[in-house]
C-alpha cells in the first residue's frame, strides 16, 4: 500500500514541475491498477477498502498522466525537422539559443520531443541528435561533392568578368563544403 502512495506523491510532484515521472509508463500504471483491484476484491474491512480506493485513485491519476505523456511524444522526426535542426547546428554549433525563428520553432520542438535536443539554459544536441545531424551532413557533403559550379552560358561580354564570376562561385561552393566538413568533424569528436 505504501509504495503506490509514494509513487502517487512522486507523480504529483513531477506533474507540478511539468516533468514526466521516470517510472510512469502506461504498462506499469495499468499493472499497478490491476494489482490494486485484485487486492480490493479480497478485502472485507471497510477501512482497508477505503485506503485501497485512495491508492486506486492515485494510480488512475498516474495512468492518465502517463497516457498524456505517451500521446504527446512523437516517435519520429521528419526530414523537414532534421533540416531545421541541421541548419541550427550549422549556424550556431552543437549548443544554440532557445529563442529561434518562428518558422523553425515547431520543427525544433518536435526534435526536443523526440529526444534529439535537450533544453536547459540553451538547447544542446543529445547523442542521438548528433548522430542524426551527422548523417544529414554526410548526405549534404556527398551531394555537394558531386556538383561543381560551371560557367554561365547566358553571360555575355567580357571573358575576364565571366572568369571572376566563375571563380567567386567556385570559392563559395568550396567554402560551403569546407563548412559542412568542419561541422561534421566537430560533431564526431
Q: Look at strands 95-96 and 117-119 and give their pairing.
A: unpaired
pLDDT value of position 99: 86
Q: How far apart are CA 121 and CA 138, in angstroms?
A: 29
Over residues 135-150, the pLDDT tens digits come to 999 999 999 999 889 8
DSSP output for 30-91: HHHHHHHHHHHHT---HHHHHHHHHHHHHHHHHHHHHHHHHHT--S---HHHHHHHHHHHHH
Q: How far apart are CA 93 and CA 85, in angstroms?
A: 10
Average pLDDT over residues 104-114: 88
Q: How far apart are CA 144 and CA 85, in angstroms?
A: 19
Average pLDDT over residues 2-14: 63
Is the predicted pLDDT of residue 85 greater than 90, yes or no? yes
Contacts of 60 (CB under 8 A, 6+ apart): 33
- Which of the two residues, 104 and 157, has the higher pLDDT score? 104
Residue showing cell 523526440: 114
Residue showing cell 535536443: 117
Mean pLDDT over the full length of the chain: 81
Is the predicted pLDDT of residue 19 greater than 50, yes or no? no
pLDDT value of position 3: 62
Q: How far apart are CA 146 and CA 24, in angstroms?
A: 49
Contacts of 22 (CB under 8 A, 6+ apart): none
Amino acid at each position: 500500500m505504501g509504495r503506490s502512495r509514494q509513487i502517487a506523491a512522486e507523480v504529483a510532484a513531477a506533474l507540478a514541475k511539468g516533468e514526466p515521472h521516470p517510472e510512469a509508463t502506461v504498462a506499469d500504471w495499468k499493472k499497478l491498477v490491476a494489482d490494486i483491484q485484485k487486492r480490493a476484491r479480497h478485502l472485507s474491512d471497510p477501512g482497508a477498502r477505503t485506503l485501497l480506493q485512495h491508492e486506486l485513485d492515485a494510480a488512475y491519476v498516474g495512468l492518465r498522466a502517463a497516457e498524456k505523456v505517451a500521446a504527446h511524444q512523437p516517435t519520429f522526426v521528419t526530414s523537414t525537422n532534421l533540416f531545421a535542426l541541421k541548419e541550427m547546428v550549422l549556424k550556431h554549433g552543437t549548443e544554440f539559443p532557445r529563442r529561434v525563428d518562428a518558422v523553425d520553432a515547431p520543427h525544433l520542438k518536435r526534435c526536443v520531443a523526440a529526444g534529439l535536443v535537450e533544453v536547459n539554459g540553451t538547447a544542446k544536441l543529445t547523442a542521438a541528435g548528433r548522430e542524426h545531424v551527422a548523417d544529414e551532413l554526410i548526405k549534404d557533403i556527398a551531394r555537394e561533392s558531386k556538383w561543381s559550379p560551371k560557367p554561365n552560358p547566358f553571360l555575355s561580354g567580357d571573358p575576364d568578368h565571366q572568369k571572376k564570376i566563375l571563380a567567386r562561385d567556385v570559392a563559395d561552393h568550396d567554402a560551403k563544403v569546407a563548412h559542412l566538413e568542419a561541422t561534421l568533424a566537430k560533431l564526431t569528436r
